[in-house]
Chains A and B, each alone.
Chain A
Amino acid sequence: MTATILPKGNTPTAQYLDQTSQEMGHHFQASATFSKLPALNELVTVWEECKRPNWDGYDALPVQSAALAYTYLLIEALPLGFPLPTIGAEPDGHLTLEWYRHSRWILSVSISPEGTLYYAALFGNSDVRGSEPFFGDIPKSILDLIQRIHIA
């Protein structure tokens, strides 16, 4: 059995379409990153403040660069149209992403240097909590929680 690879075409039209689609893809990707700039800028600010020991006055561990890298990837992995989180840090050196409507309608996701996501959410009198590994795509369970925070 032979695999058939469809040629892209080498006509001027095919080449034009191929080049245009690549340019649009780059532009789209740049736009997507640009739209997440507020969160990415905040990530850098938090990293600068929390990369030293005792950044909170209570002997907090410094945030490691691995947690920073995973958090960057997590923000980039947010589907377009999803609300941006605010960024924070926890005293065990994890970074946090928070989606907040009010104190009883809130989701907090922690990112460990090992790439594990720990999350907890409050929806009125009920709460949800759990953990998921992060392999580059945001787990559906967390995407559903983000949407639930902002639908109410």
Chain B
Amino acid sequence: MIDPNQVPPVEEAEMLARYVMQSGHFRQSDLTVKPNLFIPHPYQELSVTRHRDASETEIWAAGEDVATQQQKRLYGRADIQARACIAESLRVTAKPFPNNPNHADIEGWSSQKQDQKAIALKLADAASQLKLPPSATA
């Protein structure tokens, strides 16, 4: 993971992980993720975890940690490049947590619902298929 004492700004080429904790956020037929996963609410930012300097094990551990705290099942994650967010006039800002120095927020959302939906459609298109956690494939 990133050194918490030296957290660099997010670069365009970085990959970001959006954890999936609700079964309706992906299509069981083809494991594509739905745009609802990328709607920002109640905060005007979308929480993600940077892949930078993190191993697969660490990325999954961060997701399991979030799911445990929220008392939810971790269905998997969708990866998206920061560039895809910037292309929609969003910002990806490093927001490290004590237990997750790789945490970041996707910010700069329009306050208009239909604009948020349109952006969410494009982010879902740019995102990877659902990646299953190691616990699901074991």
Contacts and interface: CB of A to CB of B under 8 A. Distances in A.
Interface in B80-138: 113-115, 117-118, 120-122, 124-125
Interface residues of B, number: 31
A54 B122 contact: no
A136 B115 CA distance: 24
Contacts of B41: 60-61, 90-92
Contacts of B122: 122, 127
Interface of A: 46, 49-50, 54-61, 86-92, 94, 96, 98, 100, 103-104, 106, 108, 110, 118-122, 127, 129-131
The B interface is mostly helix, strand or loop, or mixed, namely helix
A131 B113 contact: yes
Given A55-B22, A56-B22, A57-B67, 19 more contacts: A46-B24, A49-B24, A56-B25, A57-B66, A58-B21, A58-B70, A60-B41, A61-B41, A87-B24, A91-B39, A92-B42, A96-B36, A103-B32, A106-B121, A108-B120, A118-B113, A119-B117, A129-B114, A130-B114
Contacts, number: 92
B35 A108 contact: yes
Contact of A57 (B42, B72, B114, B115): B72
Interface of B: 19, 21-25, 27, 32, 34-36, 39-43, 47, 66-67, 70, 72, 113-115, 117-118, 120-122, 124-125
A49 to B, nearest CB: 7
Given A54-B70, A89-B36, A100 B118 contact: no
Give the most central of A103, A110, A127: most B CB within 10 Å: A103
Contacts of A61: 41-42
A104 B114 CA distance: 17
Given A46-B24, A58-B47, A91-B42, A98 B113 contact: no
A118 B27 contact: no
B121 A127 contact: yes
